[in-house]
Amino acid sequence: MRPLGVEPFQELTLRGLFRVDVHPGSQPNEVRPASIGLPRSALSRRPRERRVLLGRLVPRVLPLGCRPVVEGGRVHADTCGRLPQEWQEAWERMLLKEKQLTRARDALAAERRRMPWMLVEKDYRFEGPNGAARLLDLFQGRRQLIVYRAFYAPDITTFAEGGSYPDRACVGCSLVADQVAHPAHLNARDTALAFVSRAPQSDIEHLKARNGWQLIPWYTLTDDFDADFGVDEWHGTNAFIRDGDQVFCTYFLNARGDEAMGSTWSYLDITALGRQEAWEDSPEGYPQSPPYQWWNYHDAYGPEA
C-alpha cells in the first residue's frame, strides 16, 4: 500500500480516518489498524466494541471536565463542567492535523530516499572494544550505518549540576543514549548503529556499564572524522550506506533533529533504504517486504541481528 501523498495541511476528513484496513501481511481474520494508527488491542474483533472505539473515543457518560489555566506560575484545572462534545471536537481537529503531519513526514522520508549519495574518500580510523577499527568495520557487515557523535571526553563541560568526567558524559548526549531502542530491530533491517566520542575505550566501557548502555556500540575517534562530518563542535547524526567496500554518506541531522532519534522507526526513516516496507514510496528495485512480517522480539531475530 503506497502513501496517500497528502501534502501538508491538505484537507482531510474524519470519514477517511475512521476505518479498518487489511494491510499486507495480515493473517486471515486479523484486524490491522488503518491510517488512524490505533493500537491493535483497541481494534477488537467484536463489532460492537470496534464501532464504539472507531466512532466515539469518549465514553457515553463522562465525569466533569475542566479547562487548564495558569495562575501564579502553576497550571491547574479551572471551573469544571460536562464537556464531552467539546473535548471530542477538539480531539478530532487535532487528529486531522496529526495525520497531515504523519503523511507529510512520510513524503519527506520518500524524498530523502532519492537524495544522491556522497562518496567517503578517506579511510577513517577508530578505536573500539576489540582494538583498531575502520569506518567499514562499524557497519558490522551490514548495508547501512547510523553514527551519533556523543560528547564524552576530559574537556567536555556540558554536564548537569554535580556531574563530571569520567562518570558523566554531556547531559544532552546522555539523554539521547537513554532513548536508544534495542539495536536488534535495526540490525534486522541490515542497519547498524554506533556512537563515537573522543574518550578512551576504558572510560567509555565504564560509562556504558554505569548507565546501562552496554548494547550501544561505542567507538573512540582518532582522526578528523568529526570535523569532516560536521560534528566536531556539536552533536549530530550521520547516515551511511556501503556498496561493497565503498562507503557513502546519505544524510545528516543535528540540533533539534536529534530530538526525534532513538526509536527504530526514526532511525530507519533517515536512512537511504528507509524502513524497507512495501507501503513506502521508494525508488524501483529498493528492498521491501510486507509490513509486520519482519517484526520480532529482540532476542528472536536470529544471527543476522
Span 213-263, pLDDT tens digits:
999 999 999 999 999 999 999 999 999 999 999 999 999 999 999 999 999
**Would you state the pLDDT for residue 222?**
98
Quote the DSSP letter at residue 256. G
**Cα–Cα distance between 59 and 75 in angstroms, integer?**
26
Report the C-alpha gap between 13 and 298 in whole angstroms: 38
Task: Give CA–CA dist 211/169, Å, rounded.
Answer: 10
What is the spatial distance between Cα 81 and Cα 91, in angstroms, rounded to a whole number?
17
pLDDT at 97 over 60: yes
- The Cβ-side half-sphere exposure at 127, using a 13 Å CA radius, reads 13
Task: Tell if the pTM clears 0.85, that is, is over it.
Answer: no
Instruction: Return all residues near 90 (Cβ < 8 A) that are at least 6 apart.
Output: none
> Which residues are within 8 A (CB) of 63 and not within 5 positions of it... i.e. 6 or more apart?
none
The phi and psi torsions of 32 (rounded to 5 degrees) equal -110, 150
> Tens of pLDDT along 18-32?
444 444 444 444 434
Boundaries of CATH 3.40.30.10 in the chain?
118-269
Torsion on CA atoms 74, 176, 35, 38, rounded to nearest 10: -60
**Secondary structure tally for the chain: helices H, strands E:** 9, 12
Does pLDDT of 112 surpass 90? Answer: yes
The residue with cell 560536521 is 230
How large a percentage of the chain has pLDDT more than 70?
76
Tens digits of residue pLDDT in 32-82: 434 334 344 433 444 443 333 444 454 555 556 677 778 887 877 766 666
Question: Which residue, 116, 279, 100, 264, is CA-closest to 192?
Answer: 264
Right CATH for 118-269 from 3.40.50.720, 3.40.50.1100, 3.40.30.10, 3.40.720.10: 3.40.30.10
